[in-house]
A and B are shown apart, each in its own frame.
Chain A
Amino acid sequence: MVRFFKYLLIAGYIAGLLVVSHWIGQQAFTWMPSEATAEAQKVDELFSFLVSIGTFIFLGLNSMMLYSVIFFRAPKEDYTEGHPSRGDVRLEILWTATPILLVVWIAFQGFNIYQQLNIIGLQQIVHLHTPLQSQRVYAAEISDVPKPASETIEVFVKQWDWSFCYANNVISHELHLPVNLTTRLNMHAKDVLHSFYVPEFRLQQYIVPGRNIDLVLTPIRTGKYHLKDSLFSGTYFALLDANVYVESPQKYNQWLNQTAAQEPTSATNQAVAEHNQPPKTWFKTSWYTVTPAPPYVITGKERVSNDT
């Protein structure tokens, strides 16, 4: 009878743990920035799933430790044995099998969601094919096939400036994207490694100098977002950002046409400004820094670059 109640208690505890874990997993959606791409929803679903499982394991193991700390304390001078059990084969098989099953489950979910993300990522630059592999097989890699997109925007990044060149040769320091349309970003780094990151898009992609890096995404929510360089790029790394506007196709085309009709204007750049007039800090050094290159001139009528 006592054993029955014990099992009932354990079952009740596990059920409670499952409920709490599921609830915390659902809360996880609110811990992230708003979802602005179709891809973001999938990533958040995966995160919620991971938080649920993680909470179950964390609370499960730590509550066992806490329970032991509270109820199984030894009297001060009692150095006699606790429970002299060295192991239990069934238990050890169980707790080896459990993480294996969890890993398979999590990996399956990750793979599934990666497939649904529907992103090209970047063109392969690491081809680990052996000489015995034919070129034909290699060429058939899915990620080498260009993915269709409604819009293509060239993205240029350097220390410390983002610029974007649109189909009508407009150059801007703002990234404008039409909502609900697939856009290809052809990304180019001028000097060091950079990384494209908009938290609301849930995507990061390194941009390697000398390589054409493709990223295809579909924004689903209009609004203003913040593009950051997420890979450390030197002295003014923190200042390397740009505004991203996701807008209706009409508004997007209107902006393109308006900007195309504008006279070229010079852009402001935070890194250049700070390099010329450093902010006051308690500790100051004269350590070396790369001089930030002037930004591209914003141009509509004629594409001009004063990039040095």
Chain B
Amino acid sequence: MTHNSLEKITEVRQSVNNWRRYFSFSTDHKVIGVQYMVTTFIFFLIGGLLAMIIRAELITPELNVVDRPLYNGLFTMHGTIMIFLWIIPFNAGISNYLVPLMIGARDMAFPLLNAISFWIIPAASILLLSSFLLPNGTAQSGWWSYPPISLQIPPGQPFNGEFFWIVSLLLIGISSIMGAINFVTTIFWMRAPGMTFFRMPVFVWSVLSAQLLQLINLPSLTGALILLLFDLAFGTHFFKPLEGGDPIIYQHLFWFYSHPAVYIMALPAFGIFAEVLPAFSRNPLFGYRSLAIASLGIAVVSIFVWVHHMFTSATPGWMRMTFMVTSMLVAVPTGVKAFGWTATIWKSKLHLETPMLFAMGGAAMFIFGGITGVMLAAMPFDLHVHNTYFVVGHFHYIVFNTITMAIFAAIYFWFPKITGRMYAEGWGKLHFWLTFIPANITFFSMHPLGLQGMLRRVSSYDSQYQGWNIIASIGAFLLGASTLPFIANIVGSWLYGPKAVDNPWHASGLEWTTSSPPPPDNFEEIPIVKRPPYDYGNPKYSVIEPTDDNESGG
């Protein structure tokens, strides 16, 4: 390499390392990706703080920390923030960063639309959080906001917490639809020469499947929210039962999106497992085609499962039976994935660095969450545990123990690529154990509580439930504390960490063939793809890169 070209590379790296661009209206997908991830992580912290206040209240059976309206506002905002301002937009962020790099594109298909999609999120979130300052506070009817309870508003206050909640969610929905259009177009039309569908990494398949779900299902939630807003603010009666409306229709519209939303959140997590596990097992992803198709399979089946949230609702027997079977069918493609991950790891050469720990921990816990999910789909059993802490425990095994663990795996895995620096491995491992153990303490405890009949959303409860509640709360506080080493590690490493080589994990994805961090246009030349993904078994592609003296690999 000549002196001039080295200077040029240094110059480009300095320009991409300029932190000010992360506060600008950039149309670079990588900047937007980081903007999404950092912003949503702040909401993760806020949502987690609300969860800890909820758990503090639930240490004792009596009400003694917050009053009941505040408690109701806390769990409403916790659920809303964690789903709509943490996991879904974080996935949009990491997908934004990675998809063009993984398919060999220079950017997303519509860069300006991409930037607008992101900037809607802070605007909507400020609106949502500002409802804490309203005289009558935030929305208090839970993240699903069932009418008619969501329509019980303070008289004479047109701008109330519920109004803010609906408008915020509508804005977030618009952002998601814009994003989905962008992702689907990018994946279909912007792939590098040779990047056939079956050469795409499973992460890209997962993003494609999730974003197709956004396009198909999100309009039903948007429609439901618009009708709810009309009922709330303009005196219509779509969902008011005593005026001839039907609140059950709202449930159908809501769950038509909000159950697939779980897969919109989970599919990218499954994609992350598919990238991390092979890299740290030094294996091709076992059954790649099956796992890629399973992503689409999950998306297709998940469109037909929404009624299992309504088994105890106004649902006739034939519908209960039909949706019991379709809900259970999701176990088939997800089972294929879980078997594929296990076979990838089996008899390989495991490197247990932090991303691998988080990925394996997340995959293992997904098996538990998946099994309890099948239990909940079994209609007669659901008649007992519906709306109990069993559901809360199951749901958190999916959204935290699986998806958030996958997100941490992704952050550690692609941190060198994004920042050009290595994180501190010891701190990462500490973060893993401080997350994995308390997460299981917290969310496992909720299952026996639910089986015994403790209801979700109660601010006080019978004393018989106190034991498991204390354990769950201790776990939750430890879980909250676990973010501290993570923040210290990420901030410290981003500022002062040793410089990373382009491919510290010796991974096989296209994103590892460019510099760390990548230049503005991603690749000096658009690559021509001639090989299958996950080619770890082929010595030709498993070359260990030379490292400079002032750089350290993984």
Choose among B285, B388, B458 the residue with the greatest number of A CB atoms under 10 Å from its CB: B458
Q: Which residue of A lies closest to B361 (CB)?
A: A65
| Cα separation A58 to B372 with both chains bound (whole Å) | 11
Q: Which residues of A contact B125 (CB under 8 A)?
A: none
Closest-CB distance, A84 to chain B (whole angstroms): 2
Closest-CB distance, A93 to chain B (whole angstroms): 9
Is A85 within 8 A of B69, CB to CB? no
| Cα separation A193 to B239 with both chains bound (whole Å) | 11
Is A85 within 8 A of B325, CB to CB? no
Is A114 within 8 A of B336, CB to CB? no
Evaluate whether A61 and B387 lie within 8 angstroms (CB atoms) in the complex, with A82-B282, A126-B315, A232-B142 already known.
no
Interface string of A87-98 (1 = CB under 8 A from B): 110011001101
A195 interface residue, CB < 8 Å from B? Answer: yes
A285 interface residue, CB < 8 Å from B? Answer: yes
In A95-119, which residues have CB < 8 Å from any B CB? 95-96, 98-100, 102-103, 106-107, 109-111, 113-114, 117
| Cα separation A91 to B335 with both chains bound (whole Å) | 13
Is A111 within 8 A of B321, CB to CB? yes
Q: Which residues of B contact A235 (CB under 8 A)?
A: 68-69, 72, 140
User: Which residue of the partner chain, among A43, A69, A81, contacts B537 with CB atoms under 8 Å?
Assistant: A81
A50 interface residue, CB < 8 Å from B? Answer: yes
Closest-CB distance, A243 to chain B (whole angstroms): 12
Is B374 within 8 A of A50, CB to CB? yes
Q: Which residues of A contact B313 (CB under 8 A)?
A: 206
In B226-248, which residues have CB < 8 Å from any A CB? 241-242, 246-248
Is B336 within 8 A of A209, CB to CB? no
Interface string of A34-56 (1 = CB under 8 A from B): 00000010110011001000100
User: Which residue of the partner chain, among A82, A99, A107, contacts B536 with CB atoms under 8 Å?
Assistant: A82
Is A202 within 8 A of B360, CB to CB? no
Is A84 within 8 A of B283, CB to CB? yes
Q: Which residues of A contact B282 (CB under 8 A)?
A: 74, 79-82
Closest-CB distance, A208 to chain B (whole angstroms): 6
| Interface size classification for chain A | 35 or more
Q: Which residues of B contact A98 (CB under 8 A)?
A: 335
User: Which residue of the partner chain, among A58, A84, A208, A278, contacts B248 with CB atoms under 8 Å?
Assistant: A208
Evaluate whether A282 and B64 lie within 8 angstroms (CB atoms) in the complex, with A32-B452, A98-B335, A237-B457 already known.
yes
| Cα separation A50 to B373 with both chains bound (whole Å) | 11
Q: Which residue of A lies closest to B249 (CB)?
A: A126
Is A103 within 8 A of B328, CB to CB? yes
Is B332 within 8 A of A288, CB to CB? no
Q: Which residues of B contact A103 (CB under 8 A)?
A: 325, 328-329, 331-332, 374
B380 interface residue, CB < 8 Å from A? Answer: yes
In B376-390, which residues have CB < 8 Å from any A CB? 378-381, 383-384, 386-388
Is B381 within 8 A of A47, CB to CB? yes
Q: List 14 A-B contacts (CB under 8 A).
A: A31-B452, A33-B453, A58-B367, A69-B360, A92-B287, A143-B317, A193-B149, A204-B387, A213-B314, A234-B152, A278-B67, A280-B64, A281-B63, A284-B67
Closest 5 pairs (CB-CB, A-B): A84-B537, A199-B453, A82-B348, A74-B349, A99-B335
